[in-house]
Each structure stands twice: as structure tokens, then as C-alpha cells.
Amino acid sequence: MMEIPFTKMHGLGNNYIYINLFEFNLEERHFSRLAQAVSDVHTGVGSDGLILIHPTDEADVGMRIFNRDGSEGKNCGNGLRCVAKFAYENGIVKKDTFKIETRANTVEAKVRADAGAVSEITVNMGQPLLKRSSIPMVGEEATNVVAEPFPVGDLELSLTAVSMGNPHAVFSVDAIKDAPVYQLGPVIEQDERFPEGVNVEFIEIISPTEINFRVWERGSGVTQACGTGACASAVAAVLNGKAERDQDITVHLEGGDLNIKWDTNGDVWMTGGAEVIASGTFNYRI
């Protein structure tokens, strides 16, 4: 039995178990199975997955994310804001703007803090990848996937695909409450046109500055929010001519709102909150 200290945090209800590898040593071979064990609502803590906060030479802090099923995602927007809050409030970093390395890229986070407590975090998420080969998605490698017919069973959907370091399939719907998240999410996640699987977003574009959003996440299923998904959705709205570059877009997720902007330099900015839920020790049976 290993006693593992953890903190449970959430960004707009997208909740993960965070382990601070600056202070606790854990071998790589445990990561995937531990993610499944802690995420279990009945025999674990219960979460959308596991996030490891670790030392790195490439940035001030490193982050790795494992989904509920133990698979590794290369990026996590809500996780980045939580890691930024944790790193600042626990003295891992001593400045309000700092770099976080993910498996996808290294991003810059800026925390807004009052008396040492972080209330809001802005992350420059970097540039979205739009080529089919970068999603990755099968087909002609150098093409973008914007409003592309995407048959699923008897339905013909319209797909815009965006990578934020992890893959997103964005579909526009008329009314978010009727979005087929539970029916089509798991089917599209595993569709063979996405060789690495995909996160599935349904969006209702209310206006050029407002989007309603629901998600089925690769490896975790329905979650209350997905930060990279919100970024991908804002980018998809712009690519479809429904929103503008350099404009703040409010994305209404099930767990709350995120502010997203795709600037004219090509970078996507995400601003939102992060919360600590609880801290404790997890008894991990090895």
C-alpha cells in the first residue's frame, strides 16, 4: 500500500486529482493505473482523471494529464489553470507570470492573486493546429477540416476539427439542450477517422461573442467543462465565419463560463477560475 498525498481541484466542475511530484516521488509505471484507481467514484476519490505537477528543465512547472480510463491526454485547459493556482499558492513559483510545460507545448500562465490567493488565471494556450494530419484525422494530410460533411449512421453532421495539442471535433447544433452528447459522444470519440480518438464538442453559437457548449471527453466521457474544448470551439466559430479574431468570446460550459480569444498573432487566450475542493491521502494498493 502506498499513501499518496493529493489535492482535488476543479476548473468549472472539470475535476482532477493533483499530485505534487515536487514533494512526492512516484514512478511512471504507476501513472495510468493510479488515474483509474483515484478516479473511481466508488473505490477511489472520484474525478475526471489525474494530473501530475512535476519539475522540468523546460519551464517553471510541468503538467501531465491522465483521463479517467488511464489514457494520457497531451493537454488540459482546466488543468493548466488549476496547476497555475496550485504552483503559485504553494510557493512552487514566486512570480505571477510563469511557464507550464505540457506534453503538447509550453504555455505561459498569468495569475491574478490577492493576499496570496489566486482568483483568476489567464493562459496563452498557443496556436491551434488545423491541418488534418495534426488533428490527427485520416484523409488528405495538408487540408483543413472546416464544415466538412461527417456522416455518422443515418445522420450527416458538419465537422470542424481543431487540435489544441489534443484533438477536438466540433459540431454546431441549433439548441444546446438537445445536443446528442450521450448518444454520439462515445461513437465519435472512437470513430476510425480519428486514429488517436477525439474529444467531441457540441456548440450553439448564440452570437459572435457567445457560445453554449457541451462536451464528451476522450477517455473520461461527459464532463462539466473542457478548457481546450472551449478554445477549439471558439476557433471553430471563427473558421466558420460566426465569430471574429481578436474578440473576446464567452463560452458557457455546463460548469460555468470561460473567456476565449484567438488573437491576430494566432495565439488562443483562455481566462477563467480554478478552485481547491479538498486535500488528503489516497491509499493506493500496488
Ligand X SMILES: N[C@@H](CCC[C@H](N)C(=O)O)C(=O)O
Which sequence positions are flagged as catalytic?
76, 226
First to last CA, the chain: 6
The reply on whether position 255 binds ligand X by CB under 6 A is no
> 234 with 206: CB under 8 angstroms?
no
DSSP label at 71? P
Distance CA 91, CA 137 (A): 41
Site for ligand X in 154-183 (CB under 6 A): 166
DSSP label at 192? T
Helix, strand, coil content of the chain in percent (nearest 5): 20, 45, 40
Site for ligand X in 189-208 (CB under 6 A): 199
DSSP label at 255? T
Nearer to ligand X, 180 or 219 (CB): 219
Q: How many residues bind ligand X (CB under 6 A)?
A: 19
- The single residue among 7, 39, 47, 78 that binds ligand X, judged by CB under 6 A, is 78
Q: What is the 3-state secondary structure (H, E, C) of 103-141?
A: CCCEEEEEEEEECCEEEEEEEECCCCECEHHHCCCCCCC
- The single residue among 62, 77, 128, 272 that binds ligand X, judged by CB under 6 A, is 77
- The single residue among 62, 185, 227, 273 that binds ligand X, judged by CB under 6 A, is 227
The reply on whether position 128 binds ligand X by CB under 6 A is no
The reply on whether position 185 binds ligand X by CB under 6 A is no
DSSP label at 13? T
Site for ligand X in 8-47 (CB under 6 A): 14
The reply on whether position 73 binds ligand X by CB under 6 A is yes
Q: Residues comprising the binding site for substrate?
A: 14, 67, 77-78, 166, 199, 217-218, 227-228
**Where along the sequence are the contacts to ligand X (CB under 6 A)?**
14, 65, 67, 73, 76-79, 166, 199, 217-220, 223, 226-229
Residue numbers in the known binding site are: 14, 67, 77-78, 166, 199, 217-218, 227-228
